[in-house]
């Protein structure tokens, strides 16, 4: 035989099988029946057939069940009307009204502004730090922690007891970095398994990689790097473009100086022969003017009229 606790558990765990039905007796004017009903077992869901479990009454919201027997020799509704839910006003405020946002008083808001102003002034912090998304997130977390612990006396909880120290933050960053790297590795592995992964080495900004992988042997190949498809670097950031241009400019100047050196003029290698020929054709112009003139004509060259995609085509036409 079931007791009130058994019925409460069935109503909470098997809502498709047990429900609370309205109490429809003629003499049911007692206000407690707006909150209570009679527990019932569903016999046939399609035909809405059910069987009332006699001897009990249950809360419609929380399914808490009490002993209840009607009639002159019954228990009556006293134990139901004495329950807290029955004593609450039926016209109680809605959930939205209960949890609506609170507005801070002017006094407390001024106190907060003063503390932020002193922080910025004494520690030389930028004023817009108060609008930083990270600062806002931290403030919201602290407010949520405060809400979870109820109404605590002012000053009872010290900020020093909540905020972590620098070493704790450092260790946590290392832990989070490891977690993030693991997640990235998992995603990259999955993308590689699907054939969706492509690698692009950073040849624009790393000086060591540029030195080792882009060996500019003569002025022709150096200037060929100024081809519009390379010079624009549309996929690079402004900093990457600037660093690349500085690097190429430095290598061009170095090549020009090596060509003009007397040591190279006595060499019989093929590269040195090309360099001497290049120098002879521009002997009458200063190095800076010669380079500017060459780059100017190169940039005006219409690569679309050539029959090849060779970026050295311009220099072959000048041979």
Q: Domains of the chain: which residue ranges?
A: 4-98, 106-166, 173-199, 207-317
3-state secondary structure of 16: coil
pLDDT at site 107: 85
Residue 116 pLDDT: 85
48 phi, psi to nearest 5 deg: 60, 35
Rounded to whole angstroms, the Cα distance separating 15 from 10 reads 8
What is the token pair recorded at 214? 């882009």
Place of tokens 């609506």: 100
The residue among 49, 51, 32, 29 whose CA lies nearest residue 41 is 51
Contacts of 43 (CB under 8 A, 6+ apart): 49, 50, 51
| Distance separating the N- and C-terminal Cα atoms of the chain | 108
Q: How high is the mean pLDDT in each 10-residue block of the chain (319 residues)?
A: 83 84 70 83 83 86 80 64 55 49 75 84 84 85 75 69 80 85 85 75 51 45 48 56 66 61 49 50 46 53 51 50
- Give the per-residue pLDDT at 285: 46
* Distance of alpha carbon 266 from alpha carbon 214, whole angstroms: 26
Q: Which of 58, 71, 57, 67 is nearest to 27 (CA)?
A: 71
Q: What is the pTM of this model?
A: 0.31
The predicted structure's pLDDT at residue 102: 62
Close Cβ partners of 52 (under 8 Å, ≥ 6 residues apart): 21, 38, 39, 40
Residue 97's pLDDT is what?
45
User: Token match 């930083």: residue?
Assistant: 132
Domain at 106-166: CATH code = 1.10.10.1070
The per-residue pLDDT for 125 is 84
């Amino acid at each position: 035989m079931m007791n009130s606790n058994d019925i409460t558990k069935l109503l909470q765990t098997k809502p498709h099988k047990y429900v609370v039905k309205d109490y429809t007796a003629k003499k049911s004017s007692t206000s407690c029946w707006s909150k209570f009903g009679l527990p019932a077992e569903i016999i046939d869901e399609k035909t809405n057939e059910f069987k009332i479990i006699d001897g009990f009454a249950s809360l419609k919201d929380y399914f808490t069940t009490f002993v209840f027997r009607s009639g002159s020799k019954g228990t009556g509704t006293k134990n139901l009307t004495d329950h807290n839910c029955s004593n609450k006003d039926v016209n109680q405020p809605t959930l939205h009204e209960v949890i609506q946002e609170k507005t801070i008083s002017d006094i407390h808001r001024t106190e907060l502004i003063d503390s932020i102003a002193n922080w910025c002034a004494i520690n030389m912090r930028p004023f817009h730090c108060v609008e930083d998304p990270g600062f806002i997130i931290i403030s919201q977390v602290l407010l949520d922690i405060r809400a979870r612990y109820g109404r605590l006396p002012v000053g009872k909880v010290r900020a020093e007891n909540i905020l972590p120290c620098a070493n704790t933050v450092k260790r946590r960053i290392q832990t989070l970095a490891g977690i993030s790297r693991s997640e990235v590795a998992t995603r990259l592995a999955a993308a590689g398994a699907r054939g969706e992964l492509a690698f692009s080495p950073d040849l624009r900004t790393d000086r060591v990689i540029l030195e080792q992988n882009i060996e500019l042997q003569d002025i022709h190949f150096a200037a060929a790097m100024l081809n519009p498809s390379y010079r624009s670097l549309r996929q690079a950031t402004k900093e990457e473009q600037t660093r690349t241009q500085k690097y190429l400019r430095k290598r061009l100047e170095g090549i020009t100086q090596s060509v003009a050196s007397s040591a190279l003029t006595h060499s019989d290698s093929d590269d040195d022969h090309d360099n001497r020929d290049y120098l002879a054709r521009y002997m009458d112009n200063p190095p800076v003017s010669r380079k500017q003139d060459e780059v100017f004509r190169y940039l005006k060259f219409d690569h679309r009229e050539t029959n090849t995609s060779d970026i050295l085509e311009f220099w072959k036409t000048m041979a």
